[in-house]
């Protein structure tokens, strides 16, 4: 999985393998202030898990095939996605990641408009996109892959923003 084990097979034993991953992009979409949002929904007798699933996780899942993206994992209220660039790709992984992030933002805005009409709270997102000019590494937990990548850490930092910075950007 990390391209560190080599097999020497006879021609009739060889099977077609998937193309090597050369580079990758990580996108982290993080719901901000989810603790307050969860409490608010619970106080109204609503299920926060259903709210997040219907308004965020499931719609994002539907976008993944369009951009050849995969879900790396869910970290609490955040979804971490990867776009892997392989031998045959033309090097547009960063562009696809940016357009995917933009679609996620637009999707959340549309769901927020519906939620507002119903008197429900809005979701606020932090998005972090990071490119790494090398393949990710993986640890194995049984059959599960655990991605190791500098881009994971960078996208995490980029997706978060302090309250004072948000106020500054909002102009107040």
Give me the residues paired with residue 73 across strands: 80
Share of the chain above pLDDT 70, in %: 86
Task: Average the pLDDT over 67-90 and give the result.
Answer: 91
pLDDT confidence of 5, banded at 50, 70, 90? low
Calculate the average pLDDT of the chain. 87
Question: What does the DSSP 8-state code read for residue 121?
Answer: P
66 vs 168, higher pLDDT: 66
For residue 59, pLDDT over 70 is answered with yes
Which residues, 6 or more positions from 156, have their beta carbon under 8 angstroms from its beta carbon?
28, 128
82 vs 14, higher pLDDT: 82
- Strands ordered across the beta sheet of 125-132: 69-75, 78-86, 21-31, 125-132
pLDDT for res 118: 84
pLDDT for res 26: 98
pLDDT confidence of 20, banded at 50, 70, 90? confident
- Cα separations (Å) of 133 from 136, 138, 165? 9, 16, 29
For residue 18, pLDDT over 80 is answered with no
pLDDT for res 6: 63
C-beta neighbour count of 42 within 10 angstroms: 11
- Taking only the tens place, the pLDDT of each residue in 121-136 is 888 899 999 999 999 9
**80, 71 contact by CB (below 8 A):** yes
Task: Average the pLDDT over 20-29 and give the result.
Answer: 94
* pTM for this prediction: 0.83
């Amino acid at each position: 999985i990390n391209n560190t084990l080599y097999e020497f097979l006879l021609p009739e034993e060889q099977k077609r393998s998937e193309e090597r991953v050369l580079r990758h992009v990580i996108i982290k979409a993080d719901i901000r202030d989810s603790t307050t949002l969860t409490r608010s929904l619970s106080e109204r007798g609503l299920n926060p898990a259903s709210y997040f699933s219907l308004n965020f996780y499931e719609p994002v899942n539907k976008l993944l095939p369009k951009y050849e993206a995969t879900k790396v994992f869910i970290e609490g209220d955040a979804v971490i996605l990867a776009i892997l660039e392989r031998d045959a790709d033309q090097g547009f992984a960063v562009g696809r990641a940016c357009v995917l992030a933009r679609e996620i933002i637009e999707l959340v805005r549309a769901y927020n408009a519906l939620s507002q009409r119903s008197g429900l709270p809005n979701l606020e997102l932090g998005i972090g996109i990071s490119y790494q000019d090398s393949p990710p590494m993986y640890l194995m937990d049984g059959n599960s892959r655990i991605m190791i990548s500098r881009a994971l850490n960078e996208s995490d930092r980029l997706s978060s923003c302090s309250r004072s910075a948000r106020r500054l950007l909002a102009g107040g």
